[in-house]
Structure 1
């Protein structure tokens, strides 16, 4: 479980996220393109298409379908999962 500091801000490139999530078999997007940012204090973490694609391999088809079809706050979970993927804790599934 990840605890998020109060005041943490999230920025999501909704159109790019939708395109990547909807097109799982294509590499048409530049891997370094930023899909999400998480700002905590003065530190900004940027997450790329490549990191999103890595995370997508760990999601079920139902999860992918839900996230691709809905630009909801559920997508903040993507940024959190990419953060945990980048900075795994001991015994973490990421």
Structure 2
């Protein structure tokens, strides 16, 4: 399992992530969001957890974000996360 987190304060509407992972979309405020049910959705952060084979797409989207606004992190069954900066997601280990 892994969690995708978008820092809304860092996001500036560049949207390099949209072409890397179809789950990313532009919201009504012109910022990135995820096209799925969100676990966290507030003024500062958007986050959702996934258990699928699309983590590589999410990591590519995070790496393409020039503002480091996207993090991809491993989530343990108990909900704890192993965080990594957006550009360093390839090194995240379970």
Higher helix share: 1
Q: Which has the larger radius of gyration?
A: 1
TM-score, structure 1 as length reference: 0.27
Higher strand share: 2
Higher normalized contact order (CA 8 Å, seq sep 6+, divided by chain length): 2
